[in-house]
Amino acid sequence: MTSAAPRPFLAVSNIEVIYDHVILVLRGVSLAVAEGGIVALLGANGAGKSTTLKAISGLLRTERGEVTKGSIELHGKAIHRQDPSAVVKHGVVQVMEGRHVFEHLTVEENLLTGAYTRRNGQATRNDLDLVYHYFPRLTERRGYKAGYVSGGEQQMVAIGRALMARPTLMLLDEPSMGLAPKLVAEIYEIVARLNREEGVAVLLAEQNATMALQVAQHGYVMENGRIVLDGDAKTISQNEDIKEFYLGLTGVGQRKSYRDVKHYRRRKRWLS
Amino acid sequence: MSDDLGFFFLLISNGLLIGLMYSLIALGFVLVYKATDAINFAQGEFVMIAGFVAAGSLMVWGAPLWLAVLVAIASLVLFGFVLERLMLRKLIGRPVIAVVMATIGLASILRGVGPFTIFSGSKPLPLPIRDEPFVLGPLFIPPIQVLGAGVSLAFLAGFGWFFLKSRKGIAMRAVADNQQVAMAMGIDVERYFGVAWAMTGIVSALGGILWGNLLGVDVNLALVGFKVFPVVILGGLDSIPGAILGGLIVGIVENIAAGYIDPYVGGGTKDFAPYVLMILALMVRPYGMFGKRIIERV
């Protein structure tokens, strides 16, 4: 593994994940996140990005999945056999794909559930203000049922809610999914600020590689349940294959239609 | 005031008070449905068992009233916890029909076990309140109904506050909304299922004591549970204000039916009038007046 990370506080080593005792989804995935770093996990649909995040957060087990080999360590302590609630108490919170808010709770109640594991009334109040500071739009929506606010606002609720747990590591799954480019940029800017100002490390699973590589320091590319490439964000974004598959650019820098890309031959070279 | 109008107000006032006592039992049903999505067909039997425990402690073992009340509440809470752990937790994620059948089975078992283990036949459940009704103009108000309505209102308000304002109540609604996301927030989902059943135990215990005093304690006390269905269908399966309103409507409807239609047909309309209303309600608003609508975004 490359050692761009100064002090990896999350270390995933060689994990294998099996669903329903038979379906092998991840094989030998290793990655590391440095304290206060942003790491991008890139790859197409079904590559295993979400599964990797769920393996870390422990949510895998709610979907009948299991880490059968390897280990996931946080500050050197194994967390891959713990319940999701124990993982949250260790400061690792997942923001699930698809903007899962509690639809029938108000925006503010949604945020409060994020502080569930903390039990400190005054600190919770302060953090609520902090979330409204980062997401001013939510202030005016605080009394609305979360199911009725816009998609971008729901994504803000989901991220703000995770922030309420005062995490040291946030696992962000496809924050750009289904949002207008302008909103995606807004959300990414806030994520970068949270990282800079609050010191929250982020592991970011994205299909939108352009966006993800702009904020991340390090990137991994997944395909078919394996990591096929890793390096610092700049190197990755210069990689010819990445440009072609994920950034939609050819060598000369023009946009290229996906139809013209010979997926089969290029992918085969990676996996050999 | 004319006699006719007086009679009308009498029916309404009794309907309101009895209605609140229905609301109390319906609250037990709503709590479980809200948190766990399980439909509890044994709600009436919960109430019956509570009546048996209270009357048994009072009349068979000669315990003082406060102890009997305490024993009834404690045993029903324990019963709710154990039931969730042993039976309902295994059914999480199974088709709805599995839970429905399991609770129907449970209802039959309770109807058998109650008389078998505690006492058979019928026993009164006396409470230290006077029997003569309060008379206010045309209104005759039995004290037990006032007590029942008071207890119901207190608990409805208490649980309403719990769900809206407390950390645990909000967490419980989060669990009801989306279990996986609740887990992602660090909420221990399974514990809340147990808590919901235990809360139903408290409500059922109080319902059992109040209704037991009104009707006497025997197996037929469980029939009160059937009134829960029109109440929750009218009000919404998962809504506490809905349980109050549904209870009030059912109480009024059955009193009006009994007062105005019974003299012509010889009685019995009280027992089915709420169901007529329930079926009408299902045709118009299937999620009840306050029920949670499925939010769909386009």
ipTM of the complex: 0.82
Q: Is residue B176 one of the residues assigned to a domain?
A: yes
Tokens of A132: 């409204």
Q: Does B232 touch chain A (CB under 8 A)?
A: no
Q: Is residue B258 one of the residues assigned to a domain?
A: no
Which residue is it, tokens 């979360």? A146
Q: Is residue B271 one of the residues assigned to a domain?
A: no
Residue among A92, A94, A102 with most chain B CBs within 10 A, to mutate: A102
C-alpha separations of B90 from B84, B93, B182, B193 in Å: 9, 9, 19, 12
Q: How many domains are contained in chain B?
A: 1
Chain B CA closest to residue A162: B185
Report residue A227: phi and psi, to 5°: -90, 125
Chain B residues touching residue A83 (CB < 8 angstroms): 188
Chain A residues touching residue B93 (CB < 8 angstroms): none
From first to last of its 298 residues, chain B has per-residue pLDDT tens of 577 888 999 999 999 999 999 999 999 999 998 888 888 999 999 999 999 999 999 988 888 999 999 999 999 999 999 999 998 888 877 788 888 899 999 999 999 888 888 888 888 888 888 888 888 888 888 888 899 999 999 999 999 899 988 989 999 999 888 888 999 999 988 889 999 999 999 999 999 999 999 999 998 999 999 889 999 988 888 888 889 999 999 999 999 999 898 888 887 888 889 999 888 888 887 777 777 666 665 5
Q: Is residue B184 one of the residues assigned to a domain?
A: yes
Residue among A113, A127, A148, A173 with most chain B CBs within 10 A, to mutate: A113
Quote the minimal CA–CA distance from B162 to chain A in Å: 13
Q: Is residue B75 one of the residues assigned to a domain?
A: yes
Measured in Å, how far apart are chain B's first and last C-alpha atoms?
Answer: 56
C-alpha separations of A70 from A8, A28, A30 in Å: 17, 8, 9
Residue-number span of the structural domain to which B66 is assigned: 15-130+141-225
Enumerate residues 6+ apart whose C-beta is below 8 A from B142: B131, B133
Which among A102, A104, A117 is the nearest to B181, CB-wise? Answer: A102
Going from the N-terminus, what domains does chain A have, and what CATH number goes with each? 8-238 (3.40.50.300)
Which residue is it, tokens 């068979």? B60
> How far apart, in whole angstroms, are the C-alpha atoms of residue A83 and residue B92?
18
> How far apart, in whole angstroms, are the C-alpha atoms of residue A52 and residue A67?
10
Chain A residues touching residue B167 (CB < 8 angstroms): 112, 116, 119
Enumerate residues 6+ apart whose C-beta is below 8 A from A53: A41, A94, A171, A173, A203, A205
Q: Are B193 and B84 in contact (CB under 8 A)?
A: yes
Measured in Å, how far apart are chain A's first and last C-alpha atoms?
Answer: 19
Residue among A85, A94, A120, A161 with most chain B CBs within 10 A, to mutate: A85
> How far apart, in whole angstroms, are the C-alpha atoms of residue B89 and residue B57?
31
> How far apart, in whole angstroms, are the C-alpha atoms of residue B270 and residue B157?
28
Interface of A with B in 109-148 (CB under 8 A): 109-110, 112-114, 116-117, 119, 145, 147-148
Q: Is residue B286 one of the residues assigned to a domain?
A: no
Chain A CA closest to residue B164: A109
Enumerate residues 6+ apart whose C-beta is below 8 A from A217: A4, A34, A37, A38, A39, A232, A233
